[in-house]
Structure 1
Amino acid sequence: MNSNPVAIAGKLLNLAGCFVYPSAEMAEQLQLDLTDLENNHVRLFMSDRGGVKAPPYAGCYLDSEDRHRFMINFNGLCLRHGVVLGTSHPPDHIPAMLEALTLLSARADDSADLDIFILLDTYYHHWPTAFAAALDQHDRTGFYAALGAEIKETLVALRHDCLPQGHQSLQSPYALRA
């Protein structure tokens, strides 16, 4: 990777950490009302009339037939490389995927069969744009919209940094939800 791996890892972990349930400290740092931040978090990620506005699961932004296969294959890839995903969420939980990317990136230099560009192109390419758009459309505080945009920009930049010389994007086997 051309980027500083430690800096990228730190950024991915910080982004993943932004999905925790809001605290008074978080609201103070963001200069937002805690109740507004909590209500927004719940509405976006947990429960709302008419459905969750921005589910924090990558598979929700893929064709429904691909979601199950996406989760199984991503979990299998992680396990093959010594990364065990928690069981409190499905494998496509976006914060867990960001943490897994950090761990997998650290192992890439020592593993001949782990190509970070292919990993990014296969599992981190399609959903960030749709997730960022959902956050942008439904976030009432601006914090989560900015978070979605930052996740998208970080993954695009990382993917670009990992792009092999002379290569174009691969065709991901997972289709976006129509």
Structure 2
Amino acid sequence: MIIRKAFYWWFFPSAVVLPVWLLIGWAAFHQGSGWTFLGLLVLCPILFVALLAIGGIVMARKSVRDARAVSWYDTGLLVGWSASIIAFGFFPPGLTGWLAVLGVLFFLALFWVGLWELVTETRDRVQVSYAAYQRAAGPEQVDRPQSMPADDDADVIIIEERREDRPSS
């Protein structure tokens, strides 16, 4: 539980720390042109927004907010995504492309797993609420179709409507 809680608190600071790490890593480890730095200036804001979006999807779940801990799926995927971004910041020769692809795959996995967990949890909560409303309505209200009268011995008034053809003027 401590690990899951740690990653709960890591979500939003990581949106700042990881893009800044890429800039620091470029300055410390990269031996190349300024085009890479220009690419990082485009990548870092995109990474910032992606981290915030994933954090928002995960934090939208009530179970995460109540427990103040992310799920094990979220933890595993976030470990992989953070590790790939940190490794990318070292700019290892020949591996930066693979690490970038790995980072995108982890983002996509986190997005879809987070969305799946959010929809599943919301659906379950709505079903529980709906069942509670059905129980509160009482068994006689639930079993009887709406078209049937409430009492089988009730008087029924039938109004017949007749239309007379009028001569046209």
Q: Which has the higher relative contact order, 1 or 2, with Cα contacts under 8 A spaced 6 or more apart?
A: 1
Instruction: Considering fraction of residues, name the structure with more helix.
Output: 2
Q: Which has the larger radius of gyration?
A: 2
TM-score with structure 2 length normalisation? Answer: 0.32
TM-score with structure 1 length normalisation? Answer: 0.31
